[in-house]
Amino acid sequence: MENTQDLNRLIGQVNKSNISTIAGMVARIIAVINDPESTAKELVEIILTDPPLAANVLRLVNSAHYSPRRKIADIQQAVIFIGFDALKELALNQKVCEIFRKVVKIEGYSRQSLWVHSVAVAQFAKMIYRREFAMRGENAYAVGLLHDLGIIIEDQFRNDELVTALGMVKDEDLPLWQAEQRVLGYDHSRIGSAVSRDWNLPDEIIDGIACHHQPLEAPSASQVMATSLFIANYGCQQAEIGYCDAPLDNEDIYHQCIENMGIERHAIDLIQNDVHSLITTMVAEGLL
């Protein structure tokens, strides 16, 4: 009961912080992503209500990564140049990124390294959906970006406890989520799922975040999402992309997830290599 009360207090703190102003925009972008009848016009209107977001989107569209022949001066031109699907992903990326902007380094952890990891997991999960299931994987990308949101919230509002937990991770070679449970009585997956539920995000995203370390416990309707996220998270940790919050001591669960999904191991290896190459390029180009 005490742990639940503390978690509820934590959610209240989040809702009174600058994170809450970002949450509304994230929820609106995810709603457009999930609506099969949404239009580019709707997304453009959302982006234009947030001038910093619009500026960041234009900065990236004009970067070497996209290499337009002529300077793109407005969001409508960006839609035409990179496409509606790419713009949805880019807008979500830039808005979620705002939550991670703070220079803090503790026991191998930093928000920047966690952001690199989150983008990598998002790309990995999306590739699993598209290559293995021929599905668009919109929520797979979103849940990848948000799956470690709870760590950022601990960083901002339970910093002393996070420092203690990170020390335990280093000294005892524990996964972060186990150290968090010892220190706080709950872990970052529970925080992230509680916050995403408070933001009225889709159940698939909430369940994916809640079960990203225990995917076999996910509700049946969200099993594919949680399992894909776990495989993506494990694969990125194995490739040492960004911050690793869980030493690879859960190999049995990983192999069970691959078997349950009917995915060939070599297919995962190919995705892992492609994600590693993509993230390396993005970091080199200053996109992360």
Tell me the pTM: 0.92
The reported pLDDT for the residue numbered 32 is 92
The reported pLDDT for the residue numbered 67 is 85
- What total number of domains does the chain contain? 1
The reported pLDDT for the residue numbered 244 is 77
The reported pLDDT for the residue numbered 288 is 82
pLDDT at 249 over 70: no
- What lies within 8 Å, CB to CB, of 132 at 6+ separation is 261, 263, 267
Element (H, E) at 200: none
Contact in structure between 99 and 122 (CB atoms under 8 Å): no
Range of the domain at 238: 2-284
pLDDT at 2 over 70: no
Identify the band that residue 1 occupies on the pLDDT scale cut at 50, 70 and 90. low
Contact in structure between 236 and 124 (CB atoms under 8 Å): yes
The reported pLDDT for the residue numbered 20 is 85
Query: How distant, in Å, are the alpha carbons of 15, 24, 97, 124, 139 from that of 151?
Result: 16, 20, 14, 20, 20
